[in-house]
A and B are shown apart, each in its own frame.
Chain A
Amino acid sequence: MQLTLEFGGGLELLCDSVKIHSVDVDLPSEEKQLTMKHLLAWVRSNLIKERPEMFMKGDTVRPGVLVLVNDCDWELSGQLDTTLENKDVIVFISTLHGG
């Protein structure tokens, strides 16, 4: 499945400072649909190069990270259970505090 993943607010530093990744993620075997839960595990093992604790806590993202599926807060689409479709754009952004 073709997906575009974007990292911002400093999270890109965890994946070689690259903000936009066009990726091809395979459906896990015996699953009919790709969920955010699968995608997070995939991101963690394929894109995150350092300090994974800065990205994830348990099986979800750490506090202070917003997840947007097609420009929409994943809270509105079921968080980890959100199902993904081909060409979806998923943004992971860390909240900023500076000024």
Chain B
Amino acid sequence: MESNGGVDESTRLLRELQSLKDSKRDIEARISVIEAQLQQSQSNQLLDKKASSDCPNCVSDSGHDLTPDMIYRYSRQLLLPSFGVKGQSNLLKSSILVIGAGGLGSPALLYLAACGVGRLGMVDHDVVELNNLHRQIIHGEAYIGRSKVESAAAACRSINSTIEIIEHKEALRTSNALEIVSKYDIVIDATDNAPSRYMISDCCVLLGKPLVSGAALGLEGQLAVYNYNGGPCYRCLFPTPPPTTACQRCSDSGVLGVVPGVIGCLQALEAIKLASLVGEPLSGRMLLFDALSARIRIVKIRGRSSQCEVCGENPTLTQQNFQHFDYENFTQSPLSPAPLKLKLLPEGSRITSKEYEKVVKNGNTHVLIDVRPSHHYKIVSLPNSMNVPLANLEEKLPEMESVLKGVESVYVVCRRGNDSQRAVNVLHKMGVFNAKDIVGGLESWARDVDHRFPTY
């Protein structure tokens, strides 16, 4: 058995290691900033020297202000006739804000940093988690537990130390949105929830910023440019928010990593087109991506609605009341990704995962019903549990009667402890009065009973 001294020692070592790593990171960041400054001042000197040498007009003659380093770094874009020096100069003078450094924001930020956007801002309040890495490819294992913005900014700086990168380590809210968004020319919505999408679109209309909006879930993605050059805003298209039950999240429904990757890349592309004034933005149109059948469809959507409450002829939303608008209430769903914690059952109809552990250890006769969908059950399950998805519970009950008869108790478990309560209500209604749910589901089992039990 380990002595307390051993535990203290390893805690101390871990702490020292973390503080050394933090210092190392700060020093590395400082080094890259100084290197960039040095490079900048050297190339400026070079330009000055050139300008004052035997060829006094050779730099201004070119009609642009790209430095030799910039010309070399961006040469493959300069060689594009339709993009060229003009497009690159416009890009270098532009500023783009990416809201959300997750599955969509990851590739968008990488490409925007690489291609030479003059000022690149990023907003996110979240920290990197292991189950993000399959799709949020800007983050690495070393950053697990640390700020997504810090991680993304470091990755962007390591690709391009010559652009300005601005970190907003906070959630975008009505209280700070106007101030943050006003500092940029173009906005990319790379968030993952309905209230944020309405809030960002409204904010962009109030400030007159074009918005590149992308979304992905499961094996599908959607992309559109809103509030551009007289085109529609998000509210013109969706004046009424969808019911909460229609707003699935990646943490519940799943998502194949490369799907938000594709949409995030297309968001970067649309933002680059807007910033460089090249090409035809995806305004008044929407791109629908279906990964499973390998189909991309571009559809024509309605124009700006004169009835729109935000961008229409008689808008009701102003900068003043935007700051007090309750988007969570409007969409009936939360801005933060904290999962729902329902309380539908009285205490007497519930047991904790620790109490359930005792039931198992004491050998009490019982049945454990796992009401998650079968593809969840296949990922991981408790021993001796039977899988009856909530959707099928009522119709399956007659078949289960013989199993449920004669046991002391019936316990119901799910992933987080919401569906299990709904299931117990169904069972009570159908006459199975000894049914109880396990509070907090398999997540609480993993947290309070068996730390090695996989979570997802």
Contacts and interface: CB of A to CB of B under 8 A. Distances in A.
B84 interface: no
Interface string B83-112: 000000000000000001011110000000
B220 A96 contact: yes
Contacts of B105: 99
B130 interface: no
Contacts of A98: 103, 192, 215-218, 248-250, 253, 255, 260
A99 B100 contact: yes
A18 to B, nearest CB: 12
A8 interface: yes
A71 interface: yes
A95 B372 CA distance: 25
Contacts of B70: none
A97 interface: yes
A75 B308 CA distance: 14
Interface string B189-219: 0111110010000000000000000111110
Contacts of B431: none
B155 interface: no
A93 B224 CA distance: 14
A28 interface: no
Interface string B334-359: 00000000000000000000000000
Contact of A66 (B197, B248, B301): B301
Contact of A76 (B197, B245, B302): B302
Interface string A46-76: 0000000110000000111110100111011
Interface residues of B, number: 45
Nearest to B195: A97
Interface string B268-285: 000000000000000000
B192 A99 contact: yes
Nearest to A94: B246
B255 A64 contact: no
Given A93-B288, A97-B215, A62 B246 contact: yes
B237 interface: yes
B300 interface: yes
B250 A75 contact: no
Contacts of B247: 97
B238 interface: yes
Given A8-B220, A66-B301, A54 B103 contact: no
25 contacts: A8-B288, A9-B220, A10-B246, A10-B253, A53-B243, A63-B238, A63-B239, A63-B240, A65-B242, A66-B237, A66-B286, A71-B297, A73-B300, A76-B300, A93-B222, A93-B288, A96-B215, A96-B222, A98-B192, A98-B249, A98-B253, A99-B190, A99-B191, A99-B215, A99-B260
Interface of B: 100, 102-105, 190-194, 197, 214-218, 220-222, 237-243, 245-250, 253, 255, 260, 286, 288, 290, 293, 297-302
The 8 closest A-B pairs by CB, nearest first: A64-B242, A98-B217, A63-B240, A96-B215, A75-B302, A99-B192, A99-B104, A73-B301
Given A10-B248, A75-B302, A98-B103, 6 more contacts: A63-B239, A71-B300, A72-B300, A73-B302, A99-B191, A99-B214
